[in-house]
Amino acid sequence: MVTDLVIYKEEYDRLEDVLRRLRADSNARAIFLIDKNGQQIAASGELDQFDTTSLASLTAGNVAATDGLAKLIGEREFSVLFHEGKQDHIHISIVGKRAILLVIFDDRSSLGLVRLRVKRASGDMESIFDRMTSKASEALEDVSASRSSPFSEITDEDIDALFSE
């Protein structure tokens, strides 16, 4: 079974820092870090300009379809995708095998600059992911030892309340 993705505040803050820096360095409009299954992990920039949930889901679908294409022709993956528009462009890259970095930029930046800055930021993010993974497995061991997961106490009533309307 695939393990859940768990993120704690410390790593979340560090990821947001990296995104903020990347956004400033690359002159981008907005940057999103997205789980390969389509969940947004963190973001930075002009977020109110975009439907962020839809962006995350469609980006993951796009990457999944492109991954499928890569395998069909015998490639492991296409690690970078670029969509060029009239004013705005999208640069998509895979980070640490399980996340997708989406950079939206316009003519205040350039593809070359984005690529360069993304490369550096990706390294920083990968080390944060490694830390997340080891922390999650430590937490899993703690939970099985002490049963202290906040979700272990979810009751039927809690769940019914979600659908009460």
Partner 1 sequence: MTFINYASKEINCKIVYYGPGLGGKTSNLQYIYEKTSADSKGKMISLATEADRTLFFDFLPLDLGTVRGFTTRFHLYTVPGQVFYDASRKLILKGVDGVVFVADSQVERMDANIESIRNLQENLEEHGFDLKQIPYALQFNKRDLANIVPSDQMYRTLNFKREPTFEAVATQGLGVFDTLRAVAKLILKDLSRG
Figure out which of the listed residues 24, 46, 49, 61 binds partner 1, where binding follows CB under 8 A.
61
Cβ proximity to partner 1: between 87 and 146 the closer is: 146
> Would you state the structure tokens that stand for residue 128, as one six-digit string?
């944060």
Sheet arrangement for strand 30-35? 40-45, 30-35, 99-105, 89-95, 80-84
Cβ proximity to partner 1: between 105 and 129 the closer is: 129
Q: Tell me the sheet residues that pair with 100.
A: 34, 94
156 binds partner 1 (CB under 8 A): yes
31 in Cβ contact with 104 (< 8 Å): yes
159 binds partner 1 (CB under 8 A): yes
> Would you state the structure tokens that stand for residue 27, as one six-digit string?
């002159």
Query: Which chain residues interact with partner 1 by CB under 8 A?
Result: 1-9, 12-13, 35-39, 41, 51, 53-54, 57-58, 61, 64-65, 67-68, 140, 143-144, 147, 149-154, 156, 158-159, 161-163, 165
